[in-house]
Amino acid sequence: MNAATRLVEVRVPDMGNFKDVAVIDVLVKPGETIEPEAPLVTLETEKATMDVPSTASGVVEKVHVAKGGRVSTGDLVVTLRAEAEGAQPAGAAPSGGASSASPAAPAAAPAGQAAGRPTAPIQAATPPGPQATMSSGAPAATTEAQAPRPSGLAKTDGATPLRADFPLLNEHGFSRAYAGPSVRLLARELGVDLTRVKGTGFKGRITHDDVKAFVKKMLSGGAAAPASTPGAGGLPAVPVVDFAQFGPVESKPLTRIQKIAGPRLHASWVNIPHVTQFDEADITDLEALRAKLKQTAQDAGIKLTPLAFIVRGCVKALQQFPLFNSSLDPSGASLILRKYFNIGFAADTPNGLVVPVIHDAVHKDIYRTARELGELSEKARGGKLSPADMQGGCFTISSLGGIGGTAFTPIINAPEVAILGVSRAAMRPVYRDGNFVPRLILPLSLSYDHRVIDGALAARFTTFLAQTLANSHELVEAIP
Ligand code: CAO
């Protein structure tokens, strides 16, 4: 062995009780250069598919498993030839006797990570469900977060775990596509709808190469371009400018959430004919009521903001106008009307917008709603939302009321069909019975999918919502 290199063995990490797990895809070949965390093989149990990630960078010397084979914890997957210089990457297990040039395992490595023992934990990556982030009120991130980063994709700051899952393309079909977690992650990052990709892997499984081939085909005009491809698919390209020629510049990588949210936002924007209906609600009485209840709520550890009332109001409006709680069937031939009421809300976090969901909001009173709003917002800001926290939304609220502004045009969180934008309430003179009286007015901006909702219905919806918010006592009724 070359003095400047060492051999690194990558083995199957601890898989709990699973034994003799099927190898359904081998993702690397001898001679290939790979990065740490690059997926090497995909395994499938009865419950989940998972990738075995590389624990080091280097050139694949030998692949010890084959597609269709079976493995258990500790089995050798790949031998890598890695650079001998520098610290050994955490979790890399040096090859027993073959690697006399290898440095010893780091002293800090936990027991059980000695040479030849599996080190990198596998995170069971079940197919992700939809979930959301938003920008200007649109969807965002994904549950794919837990999947290892495929080699060749840009590294992100890693500050926020990638967990966004968002309804964007054909999310229903996407979650059912026959593909491993790293392939799903790649598809999401490239904005590829997996339902449109033909799998050439074992039993028709979609591989990395299938996703890449699909993108190539689209770029060469073989199909409609992915939503994330600027200038492709018939869309005019924006000019490419060398900004540095005009003055100093700095390049700042997008966060992981932003990378996932971008294609989703774009997909919503280009696929859905948006119309925004503006309206105003007189929340003078609501604010007086909130001021009365605020201390009681605070004593119970709850921050009672106008948003909790707005969530309750939206639930009532969705009950009254069921079309707003629907989604277009992927075939485009029918509507799916939901009989449950899960309300998403855009939360601003240091790494981008995410959309946690208040589940079963119809059965939660104002205090419980406020409590969940607070808890979910806290989790969102700490990057601690679970996939379940962001799944199953029916309708989204994007509130900028705590910040400012008078109106905006939120992007629909597809495949939902409407989103409510809320701006800052302000005292305005309102003409009543021959006089101007000061009233607290809340601006509402409802964007809707015009394929599903007509303008008249949208105006009825906001009118109803405004009246419901004005009659605030109905919003604080106890829920049986
Ligand atoms: N008008 C006037 N004041 C408002 C208001 C409104 N519409 N909405 C909230 N406020 C007030 C609150 O009452 C609170 O004041 P007090 O402490 O005196 O009661 C203050 O503004 C801050 O509220 P908040 O923002 O902490 O709480 P919230 O429940 O209103 O919002 C959350 C929670 C998570 C939605 C918010 O923190 C957030 O992240 N907002 C940004 C969402 C976003 O970026 N959307 C843009 C996506 S683009 O469509």
Q: What ligand 1 atom has the least distance to the C-alpha of 422?
A: 7
Q: How far is CA 459 from CA 279, 321, 465, in A?
A: 8, 11, 10
- Band the pLDDT of 446: cuts 50, 70, 90: very high
Kindly report the protein residue whose alpha carbon is nearest to atom 6 of ligand 1: 401
Q: Which is nearest to 335 in space by CA: 323, 318, 345, 344?
A: 323
**How far separated are the first and last CA of the chain, in Å rounded?**
74
With a Cβ cut-off of 6 Å, ligand 1 is lined by 134, 136-137, 305-307, 345-348, 353, 373, 377, 398-402, 410, 421-422, 424-425, 442
Q: How far is CA 61 from CA 38, 58, 66, in A?
A: 15, 9, 15
Predicted local distance difference test score (pLDDT) of residue 42? 85
pLDDT of 146 over the 80 cut: no
Predicted local distance difference test score (pLDDT) of residue 68? 87
Ranges assigned E (strand) in 73-175: 76-83, 93-94
Q: What ligand 1 atom has the least distance to the C-alpha of 304?
A: 19
Predicted local distance difference test score (pLDDT) of residue 91? 37
Q: What's the whole-number mean pLDDT along residues 435-461? A: 98
Q: How far is 54 from 79, CA to CA, in rounded Å?
A: 10
Residues carrying an active site annotation = 450
Q: What ligand 1 atom has the least distance to the C-alpha of 377?
A: 34
Supply the DSSP symbol for 206. Answer: B
Lowest mean pLDDT among 13-17, 23-27, 70-74, 375-379: 13-17
Distance 398 CA to ligand 1 centre (A): 9
Distance 306 CA to ligand 1 centre (A): 8
Q: How far is 379 from 357, CA to CA, in rounded Å?
A: 12
Distance 424 CA to ligand 1 centre (A): 8
DSSP-derived 3-state class of residue 324: helix
Kindly report the protein residue whose alpha carbon is nearest to atom 16 of ligand 1: 305
Supply the DSSP symbol for 96. Answer: T
Predicted local distance difference test score (pLDDT) of residue 47? 62
The per-residue pLDDT of the chain, averaged, comes to: 80
Q: What ligand 1 atom has the least distance to the C-alpha of 402?
A: 21
Kindly report the protein residue whose alpha carbon is nearest to atom 26 of ligand 1: 402
**352-391 pLDDT, tens per residue?**
899 999 999 999 999 999 999 999 999 999 999 999 999 9
Distance 438 CA to ligand 1 centre (A): 23
Q: How far is 59 from 358, CA to CA, in rounded Å?
A: 47
pLDDT of 336 over the 90 cut: yes
**211-247 pLDDT, tens per residue?**
988 888 877 765 444 444 445 457 788 899 999 999 9
Distance 78 CA to ligand 1 centre (A): 51
Supply the DSSP symbol for 98. Answer: T
- H/E/C letters for each residue in 354-422? ECCEECCHHHCCHHHHHHHHHHHHHHHHCCCCCHHHHCCCCEEEEECCCCCCCCCCCCCCCCCCEEEEE
**245-265 pLDDT, tens per residue?**
999 999 999 988 888 888 999
Distance 348 CA to ligand 1 centre (A): 10
Kindly report the protein residue whose alpha carbon is nearest to atom 44 of ligand 1: 348
**64-80 pLDDT, tens per residue?**
999 889 999 999 999 99
Predicted local distance difference test score (pLDDT) of residue 221? 60
Distance 462 CA to ligand 1 centre (A): 20
Distance 400 CA to ligand 1 centre (A): 6
Kindly report the protein residue whose alpha carbon is nearest to atom 34 of ligand 1: 347
Kindly report the protein residue whose alpha carbon is nearest to atom 49 of ligand 1: 137
Distance 278 CA to ligand 1 centre (A): 19
Q: What ligand 1 atom has the least distance to the C-alpha of 308?
A: 29
CA 423 to chain centre: 25
Q: How far is CA 346 from CA 151, 303, 349, 357, in A?
A: 31, 17, 10, 9
Q: Which residues contact 256 (CB under 8 A, 6 or more apart)?
A: 141, 145, 156, 157, 158, 160, 161, 162, 351
Q: What ligand 1 atom has the least distance to the C-alpha of 294?
A: 19
Supply the DSSP symbol for 476. Answer: G
Kindly report the protein residue whose alpha carbon is nearest to atom 22 of ligand 1: 402
**401-439 pLDDT, tens per residue?**
999 999 999 999 999 999 999 999 999 999 999 999 999
**67-123 pLDDT, tens per residue?**
889 999 999 999 999 987 554 433 333 333 333 223 222 222 333 333 333 333 233
Q: Which is nearest to 411 in space by CA: 206, 245, 168, 80?
A: 168
Q: What ligand 1 atom has the least distance to the C-alpha of 347?
A: 39
Supply the DSSP symbol for 352. Answer: E
Query: What's the predicted TM-score (pTM) here?
Result: 0.61
Residue whose CB lies within 8 A of the most ligand 1 atoms, among 399, 406, 411, 420, for a mutation test: 399
What is the share, in percent, of the chain residues with pLDDT greater than 70? Answer: 78
In this structure, are residues 336 and 125 in contact, taking their beta carbons and an 8 Å threshold?
A: no
Q: How far is 428 from 216, CA to CA, in rounded Å?
A: 56
Kindly report the protein residue whose alpha carbon is nearest to atom 41 of ligand 1: 348
Residue whose CB lies within 8 A of the most ligand 1 atoms, among 307, 351, 444, for a mutation test: 307
Q: How far is 208 from 32, CA to CA, in rounded Å?
A: 15
Residue whose CB lies within 8 A of the most ligand 1 atoms, among 279, 303, 305, 353, for a mutation test: 305
